[in-house]
Amino acid sequence: MVHLYPLLPLLSGVVILWVVARDTRVELRLVRHGMRAKARVIGYHETSTASRMIVQFRTEDGQEVHAEHENTGWTASRSGEIVTVAYDPDRPDLARIVAAPWLSHWVRGMFAALGVVLMSTGLLLGYLEWR
């Protein structure tokens, strides 16, 4: 069992990097191909495992949309705050906040760095244990 310990940081790093890559891919797709709109933070949807911001905006064709946004900075926002969202015209309920006073892209970079460090640590420990 002791020989499997290097897998813990390795797998943790892989999972973190996968989540960061998925999040980055979704955001880049919306930023490049999505429409933009001004939105208002109208509340939060909280469960025992997650908390998501709810934003309200109108699409170009006048449809009012309430969308939940996953974001690590949700506690920095205030209800009623105006933000900019990017949305897919075919699925506007999957909007993402792309501009807000509290929004920082450093968080994604820090998680990516953490994933790389964990993965590298797991590889190093694996090399030392299994050589």
- The per-residue pLDDT for range 76-129, each reduced to its tens digit, is 677 788 988 888 888 888 888 888 877 777 888 899 999 999 999 999 998 988
Burial-class residue 66 by CB neighbours within 10 Å (0-12, 13-18, 19+).
middle
Angle CA 68–71–72, to nearest 5? 150
In degrees rounded to 5, what are phi and psi of residue 27? -65, -45
Close Cβ partners of 35 (under 8 Å, ≥ 6 residues apart): 59, 60, 86, 87, 88, 89
Q: Which region holds residue 62: left if phi is over 0, alpha if psi is between -120 and 50, else beta?
A: left
Q: Which two tokens stand for residue 58?
A: 């109108």
DSSP 113: H
Q: What is the pTM of this model?
A: 0.72
- The per-residue pLDDT for range 4-28, each reduced to its tens digit, is 888 899 999 999 999 999 988 988 8
